Amino acid sequence: MRALGPVVAAFLIAASFAAAAQDAPLLQGPASAIDAQRVLIQGTVVSLLGVDAPSQTQTCARAGARVACGAEAHGALDGLLMGRDVVCSVGRGQFRGGAPGRCWADGADVGARLVSAGWALSSDPIYAPLQAQAKQAGAGLWADRFQKPAVVRRAEANPWVPGLPGVPAASGLWSMPDGSKAVVGGAGDCALYSGILALKGGAKWNCVVTSPLQSGQ
């Protein structure tokens, strides 16, 4: 199947989201970002569909140092909302700590702009061309080396301290070029605990076998 071009993708985004707005309750007014994934509008927390954004605490590797890219992504989303007329279509149920929905700021799709700026990954094929452009340009997260947000969420939900009974032991602990540490083992060691692993004392380690760092470079 051929990849969608940016013009076709833009048309499909507009058509798809216009239909969504007709079928879901709308909230309108000033809005702010709770983090890079969630919008607060009219007292309702809306978690953006179609994007996978880093958590507030996620870090990335940049020029040999760890940076708070999750907080930067939060600021980017807030900048897309601040001072603009925001409309959100809100669905039922819960999705990553809020009601599932899509938002527009001064008529522009917020999710699409967040992916275009490189501060979120696409979880909807319609946004895929925008992610490809952001990656090629080294925009936002793509200027760094980072774990996919979904990988980080899984790891944070299943913290692993090597050596606990019933947990496969990693084959070694290695230092990475940027000064961070890595749990290095066979594919079985990392299959369930890939990504950034929470250890005692709040330290973060990378599991480098099954979840390589993403990069636009």
- Which of 143, 173, 197 is the C-terminal boundary of a domain? 143
| Each residue's pLDDT tens digit, 7-47 | 445 445 555 555 555 567 899 999 999 999 999 999 999 99
pLDDT of 188 > 70? The answer is no
State residue 157's pLDDT score. Answer: 62
The verdict on 107 and 127 lying in the same domain is yes
Q: Is 211 inside any structural domain?
A: yes
Name the more confident of 57 and 89: 89
What one-character-per-residue DSSP string does the chain give? -PPPPHHHHHHHHHHHHHHHHHHS-EEEE-EEESSSSEEEETTEEEEETTEEPPPTT--EEETTEEE-HHHHHHHHHHHHHTTS-EEEEE-SS-SSSSEEEEEEETTEEHHHHHHHTTSSEE-SGGGHHHHHHHHHHT-GGGGSEE--HHHHHHHHHS---TT-TTSPPPSEEEE-TTS-EEEE--HHHHSSS-EEEE-GGG-EEEETTTSPPEE--
Look at the chain and report how many structural domains it folds into: 2
Global pTM reads 0.70
Q: Is 41 inside any structural domain?
A: yes
Q: Is 1 inside any structural domain?
A: no
The verdict on 43 and 110 lying in the same domain is yes
The verdict on 196 and 91 lying in the same domain is no
The verdict on 98 and 10 lying in the same domain is yes
Question: Average pLDDT in the 110-134 region?
Answer: 96
In the chain, the percentage of residues whose pLDDT exceeds 70 is 60
The verdict on 127 and 154 lying in the same domain is no
196: exposed, middle or buried (C-beta count within 10 Å: 0-12, 13-18, 19+)? Answer: buried
- Which of 117, 143, 169 is the C-terminal boundary of a domain? 143
Distance, in Å, from the CA atom of 134 to the CA atom of 178, rounded to the nearest integer, reads: 24
User: What does DSSP say about strands 145-146 and 214-215: parallel, antiparallel, or unpaired?
Assistant: antiparallel
The verdict on 97 and 186 lying in the same domain is no
| Each residue's pLDDT tens digit, 143-186 | 988 888 887 777 666 554 444 333 344 434 443 444 444 444 43
User: What does DSSP say about strands 181-184 and 204-207: parallel, antiparallel, or unpaired?
Assistant: parallel
The verdict on 208 and 113 lying in the same domain is no
Exposure string for 155-180, b = 16+ CB within 10 A, e = fewer: bbeeebebeeeeeeebeeeeebeeeb
The verdict on 198 and 95 lying in the same domain is no
Q: Is 53 inside any structural domain?
A: yes
The verdict on 182 and 107 lying in the same domain is no
The verdict on 16 and 105 lying in the same domain is yes
Q: Is 75 inside any structural domain?
A: yes
Q: Is 91 inside any structural domain?
A: yes
39: CATH:
2.40.50.90
- Which of 114, 143, 172 is the C-terminal boundary of a domain? 143
| Each residue's pLDDT tens digit, 59-109 | 888 887 888 999 999 999 999 999 999 999 999 888 888 999 999 999 999
Domain that holds residue 185: 147-215
The verdict on 137 and 153 lying in the same domain is no
22: exposed, middle or buried (C-beta count within 10 Å: 0-12, 13-18, 19+)? Answer: exposed
